[in-house]
Each structure stands twice: as C-alpha cells, then as structure tokens.
Structure 1
Amino acid sequence: MRFIDAGEFTADRPWGALDITEIDDATVRLHWTDRPYVWHVNDGPEVFAVLDGAVDMHYRAEGEERVERLTPGRICYAEPGDEHVAHPAPEARILVIERRGSA
C-alpha cells in the first residue's frame, strides 16, 4: 500500500511528476506546476484530474480557442487529436493518466 498527499507534492520544475504506477499500457502520474504547458496533441487518450489548485484548460474546437476552468474534482478527458494546453492558476497538482510514452 502507498499513500500520497497530493496537496504536499511539489516538483523541482514545472510539470515535474511523481510516477505513481503503470496499469497495463497506461501511466498514472501526479504533476505539480506553476507554469503553462505547451500547445500539443496527444497521440492517445488522456485523463486530467485537478487535485489541488486550478487549471485553465485551453483547447481548440471548430477552429476557435476555448477555455474551461478545472478546479479540484473536475476531470478533463482529451481524445487523441484534441489540441490543448493547461495553464495553472496560479499553481496546481494534477493527476494524469495516459498511454505509456504518449506524446
């Protein structure tokens, strides 16, 4: 058994992660950040759950940029091909589940 206090986790750099486990071909990681990521498109599905703080998830739909505020307990599911970028507001801890080696 392993117990993790997500609210206490801080990485040494933005988007630093604590690898929690791998389940079949998926990774489960806890990320900490105080800076935005970069616009990207995953080659597989991604589940993004805010555990602490807030994240403004910017995404493109029908050619327009949109923003959805994620607070603790809100989950974002990005399908393969969804273009998006996460902006912490001002910092956040996020549980990310995605295919191992996803880019």
Structure 2
Amino acid sequence: MRFLDATDFTAERPWGALDLLRLDDATVRLHWTDAPYVWHTNDGPEAFVVLDGAVDMAYRTADGGERTERLTPGRICIVDVGDEHVARPAPTARILVIERAASV
C-alpha cells in the first residue's frame, strides 16, 4: 500500500509524469505542468481529472469551432477517440490521467 500527496509532486519538465499503476491495459499517471500541451487527437479514450490547480481544456466542436471548459479540482473530462483537444494549465496543475497503455 502506498500513499502520496499529489500537491507535493513536481516534474522536471512540463507534462512530466509519475506512473502510479497499470490496470490491465490502462495506465494511471500523475502529471504536473506549467505549460500547455499541443493540439492532438488520442487513439484511445482517456479520463482527465484535475487534482490541484486548474486547466483550461480547449476542444474542437463538430462544426469546426473551438470551445473551452475550465477544469478545477474534482472536475473530470472524458476524452473519446477522435476528440481534438489541448490542455492549458492556469497557471500550474497536477492532473490524474487514466488512459490505455502506450496511448498516443
């Protein structure tokens, strides 16, 4: 059994991760960041949970527009295959990400 305080984790680089565990074909990682990710589309679904700080999750809509939702601690974003999105910390964040192992 392990215990950790997510607010103590800081990576050496933006989006650095601490691998927490693997559940069958899924990974659970704690990420820290102070910089945006890049626009991308996942090849598998993911659950994105802000534990500390805030993240502005921008995503493309079906009509080609762009929307943004602010994620604060406890808010969960479920990203489906094909959802184009980018996460922008405001200004730093610690995020729990659950996704298929080796997801791109």
Q: Which blocks of at least 5 consecutive residues in structure 2 are unaligned?
A: none
What is aligned with 1:59?
59
Give me the whole-angstrom Cα distance separating, in 1, the residues matched to 2:100 and 2:61.
23
TM-score by length of 2: 0.98
Secondary structure of the equivalent of 2:7?
helix
Provide the identity percentage. 75
Distance 2:3 2:12 in 1: 21
After superposition, the C-alpha distances for 1:31-84 in whole angstroms (9 at most, x for unaligned) are 000000000000000000000000000000121110000000000000000000
Cα deviation, residue 99, structure 1: 0.2
Structure 1: tracts of 5 or more residues without a match? none
Please state whether the residue corresponding to 1:7 is helix, strand or coil: helix
2-structure distance, mates of 1:102, 1:24: 14
Aligned to 2:45: 45
Q: Hey, which bits of structure 1, 4+ residues long, moved more than 3 A?
A: none
Backbone CA RMSD of aligned residues: 0.4
Deviation at 1:28, TM superposition (A): 0.1
Could you say which residue in structure 1 is the equivalent of 2:88? 87
